[in-house]
Structures are given as structure tokens and as C-alpha cells.
Chain A
Amino acid sequence: TQLLEQSPQFLSIQEGENLTVYCNSSSVFSSLQWYRQEPGEGPVLLVTVVTGGEVKKLKRLTFQFGDARKDSSLHITAAQPGDTGLYLCAGAVTTDSWGKLQFGAGTQVVVTP
């Protein structure tokens, strides 16, 4: 059973468009992370959010942690082909459970020129 549900599963957009990816759960997480994975490689951490309601910006990427710490979203503004990849959210149930994250199934994003 997947604790973290990601939607949509697949997203294909044109360069310059905006997109939002969602990560939802019925469980409360101490913190939530977003990773991007490219083909043939391991996931790479983009951001960690730890406070309910927190918003973090990383250039054109905006991450939000829900007030109840059960959900998160990733918004990309003016997407570029380099944003193509599998976006994974991962949650830590407690502050000392970094070694055992719960992952969502991922959203495959394809940005075409």
C-alpha cells in the first residue's frame, strides 16, 4: 500500500507552460522531500519541507507543504526541456527516520521544445 499518492502519473507539456504535481497522504509526515530522477540515474534531492504551510522556491520551482503536513505540491513555472524527469515525493514519519523514507510512485514529466 502506497502511503503517498502522486498525481498525475504522467504529464506532457510544451516548453514555457506551467505545471503542478501533487503528493497526498492520509498520514502526517514530519517532513517531506521532493526528488528528480533522470533515466539510468538515482534520484537527486530538490528540496525538504518541514513546517506545515511552508513554501520554498528554487528558481522556477515552488514547493508547498500542506498545513496539516499530509500533502505537498510542486509547481514549475515556464517549464524547460531540462525539467524533464521523474518527480518523486518522499516522507519521513519521524525526525530520525531519514534512513527509511516512504516514497510515492512518481510523476513522469516530459517537456517538449
Chain B
Amino acid sequence: QVQLVQSGAEVKKPGASVKVSCKASGYTFTSYGISWVRQAPGQGLEWMGWISVYNGKTYYAQRFQGRVTMTTDTSTSTAYMELRSLRSDDTAVYYCARGAGGDCLDWGQGTLVTVSS
């Protein structure tokens, strides 16, 4: 069965960076994109972007342009999302999901990133 297993919770100081991993199994990793979606406490879902695992092309939401980098390692079937210059309002649960363009069938369990001084 398809599984996406994310890295554990992180606590970061403002201005720092965080890199969340998402290890995929149960399907051909290069056949699907990986999307990243976040959810601030008590808030709705926010799309951050997605990466084509096949060719590495990335599509970022405008508000994260210049601050986010999405990558993949096909040798380990792992996707990564790095967010830089963290602010307190970046505190959220970050999800990876298999798919692109809103069509995400399988999701990771989520990674809580807390930004606090």
C-alpha cells in the first residue's frame, strides 16, 4: 500500500530554516508528483507547491517564492521541503501528498513545525 512517512516535529527560532522529509513507498516514485500543503493551528489548508519527481520541475505558490525549495532523491524515494527565514506565522503542520494540481490521493502524517524564540 502507498505510504508517505514524514520526519518528526521541529522547533525553530525565527530566521532559521527547516527541512522536512517525506519518504514514499508502495508505488513508483517517479510516476507521481509530490505536493506540499500546510495548516496553521486552527486554520485551513494552504498549498505551498509541488515538484515533478520525473523531471524535478517545481511549481511554488507565489507567497513562498524565494523562501521555499522542494527537492527529491529518487535513490531513496524521498521528497524534501525546505523553508527559510522562518517567522512565527510559519508555525503549522506541514503535509506532503502524492499528486499535483490539487489531486492528492495519499498524504503523509504531517510534521509540526513550531517557530518560536
Q: Do A and B bind each other?
A: no
Give me the interface of B with A, judged by CB distance under 8 Å: none
